[in-house]
Amino acid sequence: MAWDFSTEPEFQAQLDWMHQFVADEIEPLSLLWPEYHHAPAPPWLRDVIDPLKEQVKARDLWACHLGPDLGGSGFGQVKLALMNEILGRDIWAPTIFGTQAPDTGNAEIIAHYGTEEQKERYLQPLLEGEVFSCFSMTEPQAGADPKLFRTRATRDGDEWIIDGEKFFSSNANDAEFFIVMAVTNPDVSPYEGMSMFLVPAETPGIEILRPTTLWGEDPDHGVIHPHLRYEDVRVPADSLLGDEGQAFVIAQTRLGGGRVHHSMRAVGVATRAFEMMCERALSRHAHGSVIADKQLVQQMIADSWSQIQQYRLFVLHTAWTIDHSGGTARVRREVAAIKNAGARLVHDVVQRAIQIHGALGVSNEMPLGGMWLQAAMYGIFDGPTEVHTVTVAREILKGFRPADGLWPSEWLPEKLAAARAKHADTLDAQARAEGSSPER
């Protein structure tokens, strides 16, 4: 299988354009209107962002995350990874490119599992960037372990009735519709007893109990991750997404490719922090020299660069493997590992960038605080680090088996005995030549 680390010149030109476009046209949006990066924009703001989206569409770079079978560009994971590296540099960029979470994952599962009617009603507006959606899975009492979810959906004639509470249902206030995960059969294993539902936001019975926000964010402006109650929420029978009992399978579909994209966005965040770190190191003087001359500062720079390069290649190799093996099934181990290593990368590089900036680094005059928050979030959303670590170890251990006997297979006394038996004649010859008795 060929290995190639180069990017096609035509696609590189697209990436170069994206890089410049994000810096020149999108970063100003984040400085002026961060609260709208994932919310319906008012008309005066649409006058600015709609032409930007048109430019992206004109270059065939809009909503590229879907595969060709689902109406997407068919770029493949490597190209998407390279695009996401750039999109990770700015919070507004995914929205302008039609690839903002959770809408991307939601679009992916509707495209995979939705009926034609569901696609027409929910997928099309989502792909056109005209609506926002909400993925409502985590509950107040459980997140990392979906087997503990309690929200119930019960069948009542031609309807399903949903009852329960959810937590961290991002964008619930702005969503046109919700994808809700609920127990439909408590008598079988949760892997077979949970289902997904498409629920229009205007359905009676959905209540925001608390508009939870992230550190430093204002519940009146921007994204909220609320605690929700679903009480006697009635939806028609055909609101089921996929088959009854298929929620776990659908949730996995949602996360496979998306984790690779998030990982490259982590590279984007870390690279931006790294660039700031280098510039500051060359600009700031202390104790007789520019701080870039201090060996401990140099170590931070060298370690950060190495970590970014290693991680970037790991993610790109995973993306390449997906492209060449036809899906995410073969890279379960890799996808879990990059999810974890991405959280560590952003944590380490952003922390060093803050340190090198001194007090300025922890002030709100640099964007490092937001990046520091992302470092914490990377270790939690889409499943916490510990859970993925278990997956990595389990997948690795599938390739090994216990030693046959009491001693490890690399136990030297046994290996030495086997080597001596294999070369007994030569050992005899050596002993004769050296006038000693052969070692047995």
Ligand X SMILES: Cc1cc2nc3c(=O)[nH]c(=O)nc-3n(C[C@H](O)[C@H](O)[C@H](O)COP(=O)(O)OP(=O)(O)OC[C@H]3O[C@@H](n4cnc5c(N)ncnc54)[C@H](O)[C@@H]3O)c2cc1C
Which positions touch ligand X (CB under 6 A)?
102, 135-138, 142-145, 168-170, 225, 377, 380-381, 383-384, 386-387, 390
CA angle 144, 139, 341 (to 5 degrees): 30
Closest distance to ligand X from the beta carbon of 165 (Å): 12
Q: Which CB, 136 or 184, lies closer to ligand X?
A: 136
Helix (H/G/I), strand (E/B), else coil: 379 = coil
Q: Which CB, 102 or 361, lies closer to ligand X?
A: 102
Residue 102, preceding bond cis, omega within 30 degrees?
A: yes
Q: Which CB, 393 or 416, lies closer to ligand X?
A: 393
Closest distance to ligand X from the beta carbon of 209 (Å): 15
Q: Which CB, 293 or 382, lies closer to ligand X?
A: 382
Of all residues in the shown chain, the one whose CB is closest to ligand X is 143
Q: Which CB, 215 or 411, lies closer to ligand X?
A: 215
Residue type, 416: L
380 near 339, Cβ under 8 Å? no
For residue 104, what are its two tokens?
Answer: 């991307």
The CA-based dihedral angle spanning residues 387, 390, 391, 393, taken in that order and rounded to the nearest 10 degrees: 160
Find tokens 């994204």 and name the residue: 223
Which residues have a Cβ under 8 Å from the Cβ of 27 and sit 6 or more positions away? 90, 92
Maximum CA extent, the chain = 97
CA distance 270 to 265: 9
CA distance 53 to 352: 35
Residues in a beta bridge with 180: 136, 197
Find tokens 């950060």 and name the residue: 304
Closest distance to ligand X from the beta carbon of 164 (Å): 12
CA distance 65 to 306: 29
Q: Which CB, 87 or 316, lies closer to ligand X?
A: 87
Closest distance to ligand X from the beta carbon of 223 (Å): 8
Q: Which CB, 136 or 304, lies closer to ligand X?
A: 136
Closest distance to ligand X from the beta carbon of 188 (Å): 22
Closest distance to ligand X from the beta carbon of 9 (Å): 37
Closest distance to ligand X from the beta carbon of 200 (Å): 17
